[in-house]
Structure 1
Amino acid sequence: MRAGDELLGTVFNKDHRYVIPVFQRPYVWGEESNWLPLWEDLRKAAEDAENPSADDDEPREYFLGALVTQHRTPRPRRVPTSLVIDGQQRMTTFQVFLAAARRVAMEVGAAGAADRFTALVANRVHADGEFPEDRYKVTPLEHDRAAFEWAVRAPGEVLPTPSSSHRLARAAAWFESAVRDWISESPAPAVRLDMLHFAVESRVKVVSIFLEAKDDPQVIFEALNHRGTRLDAADLVKNLLFQTLDRQGDAHLERELDSKHWAVLDADHWRSEVTTGRIKRVKVNVLLAYWLSVVRGEETSVEHLFEDFKRWMKVSGARAADVIREIRVYGDTMDRLQSLPMTSPVAQVLDRLDATNTTTPWPLILFLHATPEIPADQAEAGTLAIDSFLMRRAICRMTTKDYNRFFGALLGELKMSDLSEAGDHLVRGLASQTAESRTWPSDAAFVAGLVNPTLYEAIVRARLRTLLVGLENFLIDSKAEPVTPHRAGSKASSFSIEHVMPQEWEKNWPLPDGATDGDLARRASAVHRLGNLTLATQSLNSILSNQAWSAKRHTLQSHSLARLTTGSILTSPEGVELSQDEWVTTWDEHRIETRTMVLAHHAIDAWPRPASEGDEAVVPSGEDAVVRGVAPLHSTPTGRTRQVHAVSGDLLPLIRAGFIAPDDSLHYRKIRSGDVYTAIVTDAGELKTDLGTYPAPSTALSKLVGYAVNGWTAWYHDRTGQSLDELRARL
């Protein structure tokens, strides 16, 4: 038996066939636990190669697990072969990934990169030769063979398509999408593919164990997968630190540092598993990864924690005693933050992070609260700014891809600032961003996202729940009886999202006789709006179901205590020009649109952002309010006074996505008469017509033609020839 580390390029560059024996399992790897972590490692290796560190003489290498193979006796005229004793899932996935990268390279015209990937995927054997199966680097089980051959097919090669549910088919599609999205972020996709190939060949390693024919593979397999307790990353970090104490002349501190600082991290509380990003990890490992991210100024994954820690200790020259003490401070801080009562605004922020499986801001938040030079009010201000940034971007459906690097950059800037004003500095840093992947949406953009008629369908359910629970907590004020703010995360109560006008409204909420297609479109548009959503317990939700308004109103009055319900569904919202009796008479599209705007303005207050130059501050009133279907707003129910920013038009998301542009022209042509109506897109995403400027396509067109009509499907964009509805479907 021989063992050693081996470059992935060395494993696959040679003409060799790895045969998976029949006693192995079929392919079972999936996205969350396997493909995503593997891709993250490969991507980081490529980005390291793309952006080399000037002071790093030893480029980081990525170890992606172990491969155990057993030599087979060579056969004449055949490619050399080995049996795969352990690591068959990993080896199969490598091949699927490499083949996906090859196909993407050909898509973008990077023929050189495609050729280089080919050497890692295919042996130099002709497909029409005597042994065509020798072309493949890996020979899977018969159960997986057809799907595997399709997954590693060459660009342009036509093979029978396997079932879309087969994991290998899904893996091929997933890796193609991941590589395609990644290279699209670069102005030079071909160069990025070259970096990816370089990283695979030169930076990515596996631990290879080579068995001779006489070795017993089962003994080796059991040794690798023994039943004892394995050392995890925290154990290795501790071992390194306490060994370093002796080398640094601090051996006399060993007992004190262990008993007073590290021992608590060995307790069951810190050795329990927690879920981060939908993957279970040991809590102390998560803490160490967060702490190392803070000191390094870049993301540290749990999977590479010890390797990164060892490298950092080597180049930083840090004193092990100081490191042990500081890690304990961060551990105590993390415990303290996670134990805060829900009456704390910071606890509510952390609850939202938990509910949405968002971990990227944690190192920055820990730094704010663990650094003694940062006052508590500044730490809280910075945490709330991060929360607002995340909420606004999520509701505006903006990308999260750059968050790791962005929060790392903010942390670096924060360390160089006056820490006594760290929170204010962080707010300014967030507000100053202009890149699409980092901008903090303005009030107008936030409201445009909130009034989206498909909000319920467009926003991930966990994020939508945090929005509604956050609004519920925001509406708790001193005038009401004391109530503990609600959770949206893993410790949440049984609150669920309820449609007031049900999704299946046809039976108990019929449209009036003579309703037009426009009325039907307005009803469909209203059901999933923010103004039609509230929170209810699971038991109450099942009772409400598709009840008619008269019955549902009585049920809510009898059982619901949610402020979202009592304050703006069962009670006329403050500032709305309808009496209490008029407001509760029915629940229709007008009330939904009105309540949408009421809640949107609460959301602006709940997740504030400092005003920027160019923000327009107006209070909708008069004809403008009528056009929007919203009664004038005079104040928020909490009594807060603030500027109410202008609500931008419904076309703003299309402008932000680059599908249309200000000053673009729209037209609608009547089929029978041939009459043509036109509009111009404004900077604010509204429609300017001969009769005025309107925020919504349907409102604008209905005013022009004199009857209700769905403007999204009727208006056509002159430059692209597509309807607004077709453009919106691309968002």
Structure 2
Amino acid sequence: MRPDKRGVLELFERPQRYVIPLYQRRYVWTKEKQWEPLWNDIRRRAEAEVENRGHVKPHFLGAVVLANIRTYGRQLQAYDVIDGQQRLTTFQLFLAAFRDIAGELEIHTLERELGRVTRNDGALNDELEQYKVWPTRFDQPGFQRVLDRTGADPIEQDVTAAHEAFRFVANTTAAYAYFCQELRTWLTQSPDPRLQGEALFTALRRYLQVVTIELEDDDDPQVIFETLNARGEPLQPADLVRNHIFSDAAQRDEKVDALFEHYWAQFDADGSLWRTDEARGRVMRPQLAWFLMAFLTVKLEEDISDGVIFDAFKRWWGSRGPEATAEAGLKELLRYARAYQNLLESKPETRLGVFFRRLKVMDISTLTPLLLYLLTDAGLSGASLNVVLDDLEAYVVRRFGLGLGSKNYNLLFVRLLREVRDLPSGADVRQFMLNFLSRGKGDSVRWPTDEEWRSGLLTTPIYKKVRPRGVSMLLEAIDLHRTTGKQEALLIAAPLSVEHVLPQKWITHWPAPVASGEILDAAAWRNTLLHTLGNLTLTTQKLNTALSNGAYENKRVALAGESRLRLNTLFQTQMKWDETVIQRRSEELADDLLLIWHGPEGQVAPQGVNTALEISTDAYTTIEALREDLKLNTMPSFAVGGSAAGGDVQLFNNDWGSRGARYHAEVVEDDTELQRIRVSLRDTFTEQSPQKPWVKLAMARMAFPVQQTFGLERTEVNPSELTVWLPGDSDVTTVRRALSRLIALTLPAMEHAAAQSKQRRPGGQALDDLINVLSPCLPEPYYFMVADIGMDRNWRRLAHAEWPNTLHYELQIDSGSCTLILDDELQIGPLKTQVGQHWGELTAAAQAAFPTLSLTGGTRGRSNHRVTLNFPEASTDQELCEQVTAFIKATAPILETAFNSVSP
């Protein structure tokens, strides 16, 4: 093996090809798991280049294993990619996106440079040699479209439309669209996009590195692949750090055993704090790893990510100088570790404990390095530290409550840390930090003013904006603020539950709202206020469960009698609960929060502060509206139902022999009342039912297409259920679209499964046998309707899963002759009108496809239409399959045009 270290651009600068073998898996990287972390790594190195030009530490992005492909004549040098195909493909997609955004922003020098690393040019032996990476067959169409893109190709719009319509989109094009959006935003937010782009190009050339391993002739690629992907437990960063420290101590002849026992043993102790796993976002790591990241961020004054802990540690360890002992390094490490432990174990009644608890609620860990410095080396007394914590908390809570995001906090707080450490002795640390945070501009860093903070609290559906844990934090702060010396101070040790006074299921349990004044839609107005601050309070989980969706008079008595919170004393005297009360209480609570978390110095509110209530939809209302919509506009073969408790819709196909398989759309709440909408297909047939083996097989076959279409992050599949998860605030159109798409994907397989278990009748047996032969050759998503199977008739209907089945094809067999029919039995309405307007075109298209056969077309009784194609002689099964497919191919595009003209 010949290992080598290369920058990302260096991988592609030479005229050569990386070929993904057919046996490798398709491109499966996704936004959450790979694209976003990769972009964050790339972006950080580029931003470091802007700030510290030429003094940026490299970042390792993984390894690629290559095997040389023997080439001849003028063929380009080529390699089989043994390992790392996902990484190489992503690099090319990223570079193509960078190329095209550079062109869009008229940074043409960069566009040309990036063109050279995304395409082989010159005299090529074969057209495909222009692609520096050549993926597996499944990924080739999307990859080619991206690499060949011209300005007129709407890839990003197509990806967005596909996601919104819940249709399959190739991962290659989805990745390209994601990188385009991120690059465009990042570059245009810079005062100088050209300079920003050049820094990114430099980072890709110098600071973002890959190890390439080229196999030699006597290396076995399969053995290498299996070794690289073996199941052995990899060394963790903390293991590497420990080994480095004590290897250095041994070389210096220090007492290794004594040093280990005195300084390090606690880090390795089973059951210790340092071995405890903690999740931050989607990443789970031991506390020791999180501590090392924070410690090294302080020491190196740069954002240290999970993947570079060991490299960063070696840099810090070496920067101490050749005379620095291992014991001195361990002492410093342990000093910071004690501060970190004090932070994690800070008592909830202390100022530090309250702040740290609130940071965990907001999932903000990027402040930890700055807090470590403030607790160790900033020289702040207890009172001075508390004032600084007040400022930091006010800054992050106001931004959190308004949904301004924490994406750039890592860089912001590292920069603040660096500037605070550079302050001269005796400087006012608190005043400097306050000035620093107050002068931030733009949504990524600004500190919301009083005007914006109060307006946002009054107009935002806060329950959805900050989720239950965030609401609980705000309301707990209000309760603490309202507690005076005349009340007992309550320590809220266990998490409380957020209670909607007006319940989320008001539509079935509370009186309907009454419109007043200029309010045109009383229900929509109520739903808009439902999740605002004034309708929310805190209870124990047990009391919350008892209150449930009950009437207000019962809730009021329980809240007034059981709750000890100052927040709930209102319910001792508030005898009714309506929209006016909710608005008034929102104003009162907003006034409290205005005092609890102060605003920036020299407050200047941004232009256009919103004062209108954000329109909010409620999941239960959405499901009820979906139920009514489906009753009016469902497919003819489905019946609409639901459970007695409400909050769900069920679709049954009565032709399947039982309700053991059905489609669902329902509201699901977790323990914190956070809502999601679950759209699913469920198999509840018993193991003894005749349908079970066929439906079980169909569910297994459909799992991958469902995941492929909706995306892994939105799906959950198991042998008896295929589920698509939607946000709780999805509107009716979105839920209906998801349900329709799930039906379209699965209905043909379910109809086929039901047909296999259906009892046959002798009179139709021969035709049913023919249908079994023809079904596998049908184009997706066509299917023979199970309602016709086993019937003593000479025809079978052929339907499309996304059309009403009153518009269908028919196959008739009579005395050896065969007839194909396109039959319109649609009800009077816009769709029928559109189809009728295209009927002459349909007849002409069918005749053109079968110029030698007898064909008739036109209107029959009750304004229905038919196109009938006769085959005078019996066809073989293969010929008949080809004829059915050709008939569909000739007519279906015209029908799709009719459908699209009436679709919302």
TM-score range for the pair, normalised by the shorter chain length: 0.7 to 0.9
Asked whether the 8 Å contact 1:71–1:211 carries over to 2, the reply is yes
State how far apart, in whole Å, the 1-side matches of 2:192 and 2:540 are: 52
1:625 maps to which residue? Answer: none
Indicate the structure with greater strand content: 2
Higher relative contact order at CA 8 Å, sep ≥6: structure 1 or structure 2? 1
Instruction: Return 33-42 or 96-105, whichever deviates more.
Output: 33-42
State how far apart, in whole Å, the 1-side matches of 2:391 and 2:220 are: 60
Query: Residues 301 and 589 from structure 1, CA distance in 2 versus in 1: closer, same or farther, beyond 3 angstroms?
Result: same
Alignment counterpart, residue 285 of structure 2, candidates 281, 285, 304: 281
1:530 maps to which residue? Answer: 533
Asked whether the 8 Å contact 1:379–1:423 carries over to 2, the reply is no
- Note the 1:9-158 alignment, pairs <5 A: 9-52=9-52, 56=55, 59-124=56-121, 131-156=126-151, 158=153
- Note the 1:196-345 alignment, pairs <5 A: 196-245=200-249, 251-252=253-254, 254-268=256-270, 269=272, 270-317=274-321, 319=324, 320-345=326-351
1:500 maps to which residue? Answer: 501
Asked whether the 8 Å contact 2:63–2:211 carries over to 1, the reply is yes
Q: Structure 2: give runs of 5+ residues left out of the alignment.
A: 613-904
Query: Residues 336 and 49 from structure 1, CA distance in 2 versus in 1: closer, same or farther, beyond 3 angstroms?
Result: closer
1:722 maps to which residue? Answer: none
Bigger-Rg structure (1/2): 2
Residue deviations 1:375-420, cap 9 Å, x none?
Answer: 2333333233212210012223435344223322332343345888
Q: Structure 1: give runs of 5+ residues left out of the alignment.
A: 488-492, 572-579, 616-647, 656-731
- Note the 1:517-556 alignment, pairs <5 A: 517=519, 520=522, 523-538=526-541, 540-541=543-544, 544-556=547-559
1:641 maps to which residue? Answer: none
Task: Name the Cα RMSD after superposition.
Answer: 3.4
Query: Residues 333 and 542 from structure 1, CA distance in 2 versus in 1: closer, same or farther, beyond 3 angstroms?
Result: same
Aligned residue pairs, count: 596
State how far apart, in whole Å, the 2-side matches of 1:553 and 1:323 are: 61
Query: Residues 317 and 536 from structure 1, CA distance in 2 versus in 1: closer, same or farther, beyond 3 angstroms?
Result: same
The 3-state SS of whatever aligns with 2:9 is helix
Alignment counterpart, residue 454 of structure 1, candidates 439, 444, 461: 461
Query: Residues 514 and 181 from structure 1, CA distance in 2 versus in 1: closer, same or farther, beyond 3 angstroms?
Result: closer
Query: Residues 75 and 537 from structure 1, CA distance in 2 versus in 1: closer, same or farther, beyond 3 angstroms?
Result: farther
In the TM superposition, residue 427 of structure 1 has moved relative to its aligned partner by 5.5
Please report the TM-score for the alignment, with normalisation by the length of structure 2: 0.60
Asked whether the 8 Å contact 2:121–2:130 carries over to 1, the reply is yes
State how far apart, in whole Å, the 2-side matches of 1:544 and 1:608 are: 35
In the TM superposition, residue 361 of structure 1 has moved relative to its aligned partner by 0.4
Asked whether the 8 Å contact 2:416–2:433 carries over to 1, the reply is no
Asked whether the 8 Å contact 1:374–1:422 carries over to 2, the reply is no
Please report the TM-score for the alignment, with normalisation by the length of structure 1: 0.73
1:694 maps to which residue? Answer: none
In the TM superposition, residue 263 of structure 1 has moved relative to its aligned partner by 2.0
Asked whether the 8 Å contact 2:101–2:184 carries over to 1, the reply is yes
Asked whether the 8 Å contact 1:378–1:423 carries over to 2, the reply is no
Residue deviations 1:569-603, cap 9 Å, x none?
Answer: x14xxxxxxxx3xxx22112222122112212222
2:389 maps to which residue? Answer: 383
In the TM superposition, residue 328 of structure 1 has moved relative to its aligned partner by 0.9
Query: Residues 614 and 377 from structure 1, CA distance in 2 versus in 1: closer, same or farther, beyond 3 angstroms?
Result: closer
Residue deviations 1:10-61, cap 9 Å, x none?
Answer: 211222222222333332322333222211221122223333357x5xx522
In the TM superposition, residue 295 of structure 1 has moved relative to its aligned partner by 1.8
The 3-state SS of whatever aligns with 2:210 is strand
Query: Residues 255 and 417 from structure 1, CA distance in 2 versus in 1: closer, same or farther, beyond 3 angstroms?
Result: farther
1:652 maps to which residue? Answer: 609
Asked whether the 8 Å contact 2:472–2:498 carries over to 1, the reply is yes
Residue deviations 1:193-243, cap 9 Å, x none?
Answer: 222222212332211111134421122223333444433322333333344
2:620 maps to which residue? Answer: none
Instruction: Return 259-268 or 283-292, whichever deviates more.
Output: 259-268
State how far apart, in whole Å, the 2-side matches of 1:304 and 1:345 are: 33
In the TM superposition, residue 262 of structure 1 has moved relative to its aligned partner by 1.9
In the TM superposition, residue 481 of structure 1 has moved relative to its aligned partner by 5.3
Query: Residues 443 and 486 from structure 1, CA distance in 2 versus in 1: closer, same or farther, beyond 3 angstroms?
Result: farther
1:586 maps to which residue? Answer: 576
State how far apart, in whole Å, the 1-side matches of 2:278 and 2:44 are: 24
- Note the 1:423-462 alignment, pairs <5 A: 424-425=430-431, 428-430=434-436, 432-436=438-442, 437-459=444-466, 462=469
Query: Residues 197 and 475 from structure 1, CA distance in 2 versus in 1: closer, same or farther, beyond 3 angstroms?
Result: same
Asked whether the 8 Å contact 2:68–2:80 carries over to 1, the reply is yes
Residue deviations 1:612-651, cap 9 Å, x none?
Answer: 4579xxxxxxxxxxxxxxxxxxxxxxxxxxxxxxxx9995
The 3-state SS of whatever aligns with 1:517 is coil
In the TM superposition, residue 279 of structure 1 has moved relative to its aligned partner by 1.2
Asked whether the 8 Å contact 2:35–2:175 carries over to 1, the reply is yes
2:732 maps to which residue? Answer: none
Asked whether the 8 Å contact 1:33–1:279 carries over to 2, the reply is no
Asked whether the 8 Å contact 1:18–1:83 carries over to 2, the reply is yes
State how far apart, in whole Å, the 2-side matches of 1:91 and 1:599 are: 53
Query: Residues 432 and 195 from structure 1, CA distance in 2 versus in 1: closer, same or farther, beyond 3 angstroms?
Result: closer
Letter in 2 for 1:49: E
Identical positions, percent: 31
Query: Residues 79 and 476 from structure 1, CA distance in 2 versus in 1: closer, same or farther, beyond 3 angstroms?
Result: farther
Alignment counterpart, residue 512 of structure 2, candidates 503, 510, 513: 510
